[in-house]
Amino acid sequence: MSSSYKRPNRKKKRRVPTATVALYIAMVVIILGICAVVFIVGFNVLNSEGESSKGSSSIISSSSSNGGFILPNDEQPSYSSSIQSSYESSSDSSIPESSSSDESSSSSKQEQSSSGQSSSSDPNSEVNVNEKFDKEFFKDDLFIGDSIFTGLYLYDFLDQANVAAKVGYTPYGALNGAFDSKGITALSYAKQRSPKRIFILLGSNAMSSSSELNALKNSYSNLLTTIHSEIPKAKICCISITPVARKTDYPNVDNSVVRSMNEYIEQQCKALGVDYFDFYSQISDDEGYFLTDYAEVDGMHFKAGTYRLLLAELQKKYS
* Dihedral angle, C-alpha 52, 147, 145, 90, nearest 10 °: -170
Q: Please state which of the four CATH numbers 3.40.50.1110, 3.40.50.1100, 3.30.479.30, 1.20.1260.10 is assigned to the domain occupying 95-318.
A: 3.40.50.1110
- Give 163's pLDDT tier (boundaries 50, 70, 90): very high
Q: What is the mean pLDDT of the chain?
A: 77
Task: Assess whether pLDDT exceeds 90 at residue 206.
Answer: no
- Give 5's pLDDT tier (boundaries 50, 70, 90): low
Percent of the chain scored above 70 by pLDDT? 66
pLDDT of 43 = 67
Whether 121 contacts 208, CB under 8 Å: no
Helices (H), 127-193: 147-154, 171-176, 186-193
Strand partners, 238: 200, 276
Q: From CA 99, how far away is CA 75, in angstroms rounded?
A: 40
pLDDT, one tens digit per residue, over 237-284 is 999 999 999 999 998 899 999 999 999 999 999 999 999 999 999 999
- The radius of gyration computed from the CA coordinates of the chain, to the nearest angstrom, equals 30
The number of CA neighbours under 13 Å toward the Cβ of 188 is 10
Name the amino acid, one letter, at 123.
Answer: P
Q: From CA 203, how far away is CA 201, in angstroms rounded?
A: 7
Name the amino acid, one letter, at 42.
Answer: G
Cα 10 from chain centre: 82
52-66, 84-98, 114-128, 170-184, range with the lowest pLDDT: 84-98
Q: In what order do the strands lie in the sheet with 163-165?
A: 95-96, 275-277, 235-239, 197-201, 142-145, 163-165
First to last CA, the chain: 130
pLDDT, one tens digit per residue, over 223-243 is 999 999 999 999 999 999 999
